[in-house]
């Protein structure tokens, strides 16, 4: 009853090539759509399951909620949907397009590929008030773990999936508070002191809070393990990211994802990321006769 690889094999064999070509062509003119689409899929799956509820336009929909205001890549999904409606009308869900586009975004940034099970149906509900279960950048590791385990994802999945921050950027407004007066004695002490001036220069106290800074310093366009090395070195940008290193329950996973195979404890980040993505992409999916196949991704039928 769940999703399966090759769900559209008979009904729309071109689906994967249409989505990947569309992602590639948008990526070549604007590389920021890769992190945009990956994050969008995560924010879709955590609210009402992976059902494209994030794509619905209108008043008080998920899109209008705080954590979703800076999402990007909606036009890529609309473009792919248009082509798919021409090739196989009424067949491919917007939720599946987004799941495929997230994978193709990792491939575009030279990460490892994985097979994406399909067969999701699109939801009919999108409410900004449902977005409170999305993790926040000040969340403790306990809260992060709770929010992930509520969706069937364990600690290893948490660390692997947050590894998505190996690409993309954050606005200064989400971490600038760590750089000055974080405590009575000064900046967040978990920040590498030799790195601090660089961040302070990028995000001065009264500067532009919307200015964007790499989440993985010096490697924002490459889907690699550098993000974990940066965490080890006190170079995490978000408070929630740096805590993955300071917390004793998540640090071992950061260590294991950082290096290439290290004996029996070694975990390949690229492989584990794909595995955890398949789990995340199956959160509360609607299949069979549930939901609908939207004709336009930004509106319910």
* Residues that are catalytic: 43
Site map (CB under 6 A) of ligand HEM, residues 83-122, x = contact: ----------------------------------------
**Pick 125 or 171: Cβ nearer ligand HEM:** 171
236 binds ligand HEM (CB under 6 A): no
Q: What is the DSSP letter of 149?
A: H
Tell me if 143 is assigned to a ligand binding site: no
CA distances from 241 to 51, 64, 119, 170 (A): 27, 25, 33, 12
Binders of ligand HEM among residues 206 to 225 (CB under 6 A) are: 215
d(CA 150, CA 144): 10
Kind of pairing, strands 212-214 and 169-171? antiparallel
How many residues of this chain bind Ca ion (CB under 5 A)?
Answer: 11
Piece of 4-12, 13-21, 161-169, 226-234 that binds ligand HEM (CB under 6 A) = 161-169
Residue appearing with tokens 């790195």: 195
Other beta carbons within 10 angstroms of residue 150's beta carbon come to: 11
The secondary structure element, H or E, covering residue 121 is none
Tell me if 128 is assigned to a ligand binding site: no
- Residue pair 261/210 in contact (Cβ under 8 Å)? The answer is no
Quick one: what does residue 51 bind among ligand HEM, Ca ion, none, with the CB cut-off 5 to 8 Å set by partner type? Ca ion
Residues 6+ apart with CB under 8 A from 70: 171
Q: Which stretches does DSSP call E strand in 168-240?
A: 169-171, 212-214
d(CA 286, CA 238): 33
Identified binder of Ca ion from the candidate list 16, 44, 104, 258, rule CB under 5 A: 44
136 binds ligand HEM (CB under 6 A): yes
Binders of Ca ion among residues 210 to 269 (CB under 5 A) are: 216, 219, 222, 224, 226
Identified binder of ligand HEM from the candidate list 16, 20, 39, 294, rule CB under 6 A: 39
Annotated binding site: 44, 47, 49, 51, 53, 62, 135, 165-166, 216, 224
Interface positions with Ca ion (CB under 5 A): 44, 47-48, 51, 53, 166, 216, 219, 222, 224, 226
């Amino acid at each position: 009853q769940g999703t399966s690889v090759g769900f559209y094999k008979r009904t729309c064999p071109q689906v994967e090539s249409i989505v990947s070509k569309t992602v590639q062509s948008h990526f070549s003119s604007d590389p920021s759509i890769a992190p945009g689409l990956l994050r969008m899929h995560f924010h879709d799956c955590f609210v009402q399951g992976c059902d494209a509820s994030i794509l619905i336009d209108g008043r008080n929909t998920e899109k209008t909620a705080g954590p979703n205001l800076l999402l990007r890549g909606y036009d890529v999904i609309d473009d792919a949907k248009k082509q798919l409606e021409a090739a196989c009308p009424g067949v491919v869900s917007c939720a599946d397009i987004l799941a495929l586009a997230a994978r193709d975004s990792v491939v575009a940034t030279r990460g490892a590929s994985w097979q994406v099970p399909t067969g999701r149906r699109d939801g009919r509900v999108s409410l900004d008030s449902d977005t409170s279960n999305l993790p926040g950048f000040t969340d403790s590791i306990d809260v992060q773990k709770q929010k992930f385990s509520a969706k069937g994802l364990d600690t290893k999945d948490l660390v692997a999936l947050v590894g998505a921050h190996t690409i993309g950027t954050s606005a200064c407004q989400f971490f600038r508070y760590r750089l000055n007066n974080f405590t009575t004695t000064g900046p967040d002490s978990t920040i590498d002191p030799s790195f601090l001036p660089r961040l302070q220069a990028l995000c001065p106290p009264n500067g532009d809070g919307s200015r964007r800074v790499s989440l993985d310093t010096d490697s924002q366009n490459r889907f690699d393990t550098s993000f974990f090395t940066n965490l080890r070195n006190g170079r995490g940008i978000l408070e929630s990211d740096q805590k993955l290193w300071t917390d004793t329950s998540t640090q071992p996973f950061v260590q294991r994802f950082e290096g290439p195979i290290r004996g029996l404890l070694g975990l390949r980040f690229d492989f584990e990321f794909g595995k955890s993505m398949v789990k995340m992409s199956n959160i509360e999916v609607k299949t069979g006769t549930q939901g609908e196949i939207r004709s336009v991704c930004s509106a319910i039928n």
